[in-house]
Amino acid sequence: MNTLSIGIIGATGYTGSELIRILHTHPEAEIKLITSESKAGKKIAEIYPALNGLTDLVLQPMAEVKNYQLDVVFLALPHGAAMNFVKDYYDSSFKIVDLSGDFRLSSPEVYQEWYGMDHIFEKGFETAVYGLPEMYREQIRKARLIANPGCYPTASILATYPLVKSRLVNSDSIIIDAKSGTTGAGVKPKTATHFSTVHDNFKPYGIKTHRHSVEIQEQLSSVATQEAIVQFTPHLLPIDRGIIATAYSHPKSAISEEDVKEAYHEAYANEPFVRLRQEPPSVKDVRGSNFCDIFATYDARTKRIITVSAIDNLVKGASGQAVHNMNLMFGLEEKSGLQQVPVNP
């Protein structure tokens, strides 16, 4: 097929710049438009010097999208702003991959409850496909609007999905303890992510109320025989990127270590970006890559299944997964543009 023409709306945030990094070497895609309302007219390399000598792309106002013939648009916008773009351009010829949380949940009512704002485009919920290829590959191939999963949900769902799908565990008592680097909070400075706050420090946040709790619950519930109930607690690590999620599940009946291994092998044996490990992974094992590394084991003493997953929150947890979704939507090789080797050390 012809080279895809790409637009990135909100290109100066972490996920926007990561999309540029990944798509720069994609053999079947070319970035035609990048936007920023506050930095229009500047070259992206002025903002991210790592791009010097690699691209001359100039940031433009978002309204310029009407003047380009694009195949797909990536929305690297905050929640609330993305739904406005989708509403305005829903009937346009290009497909949309939305990296915000605006269409990840089941209804406007659930969205309002967890995000604390009204949703203005209910129609989007009727057609949006949750963009986790390991669960919804065939639906993604036919979609025009993708709700790209959050970084915490990606790590958490992939860690527990095989157990719920195979009916090995009680889905109403899953505990997920997750830790993320500071880039998960976005590029805008906040007191909680200042160097002096994060350095030599470690803390939980969003206890009982983090909006990714319901995103994880809804997706696991979709494959469970009963409603999934997830106790999800995030923590902020003093690192820039990466997520480790540790999940604890109770088996429904007597099982063995082999039963656990078989469930994960059955779910992920043919998945290009899930690597099953024989030891717990670290964030540096996946840094800069689109891999999710997973280790699962059964503790006979406590009768719990323990699963550890590791992803790069900006790649598999955001921009890399978005490109994976694009590849599926346009019938490209799934791994195209996404075969970066992890950076370690």
Task: Name all domains of the chain by residue range, CATH numbers in brackets.
Answer: 4-127 (3.40.50.720), 152-313 (3.30.360.10)
Is the pLDDT assigned to residue 112 strictly greater than 90?
yes
Averaged pLDDT for residues 278-297? 98
Give the span between the Cα atoms of 44 and 31, in whole angstroms.
12
Give the span between the Cα atoms of 33 and 9, in whole angstroms.
8
Is the pLDDT assigned to residue 212 strictly greater than 70?
yes
Choose, from 6, 151, 263, 315, the residue flagged as catalytic. Answer: 151
Give the span between the Cα atoms of 313 and 283, in whole angstroms.
10
Averaged pLDDT for residues 131-141? 98
Show Cβ contacts of residue 203 under 8 Å, excluding neighbours closer than 6 positions. 235, 236
The helix (H) or strand (E) run that includes residue 4 is: strand 4-9
Q: State percent of the chain over pLDDT 70.
A: 100
Give the span between the Cα atoms of 328 and 129, in whole angstroms.
12
Amino acid letter at 345? P
Is the pLDDT assigned to residue 205 strictly greater than 70?
yes
pLDDT of residue 229: 97
Q: Among this protein's residues, is 292 annotated catalytic?
A: no
Averaged pLDDT for residues 299-328? 98
Amino acid letter at 117? M
Structure tokens belonging to residue 179: 């830790």
How would residue 276 be classed by pLDDT, with cut points 50, 70 and 90?
Answer: very high
* 163 in Cβ contact with 307 (< 8 Å): yes
Averaged pLDDT for residues 302-316? 98
pLDDT of residue 258: 97
How would residue 188 be classed by pLDDT, with cut points 50, 70 and 90?
Answer: confident
pLDDT of residue 192: 85
Is the pLDDT assigned to residue 285 strictly greater than 90?
yes
**Predicted TM-score of the model (pTM):** 0.97
Q: What is the DSSP string of 265-321?
A: HHHHTT-TTEEE-SS---GGGTTTSS-EEEEEEEETTTTEEEEEEEE-TTIIIIIHH
Out of 94-103, 180-189, 224-233, 263-272, least confident range = 180-189
Is the pLDDT assigned to residue 2 strictly greater than 90?
no
pLDDT of residue 136: 98
pLDDT of residue 1: 63
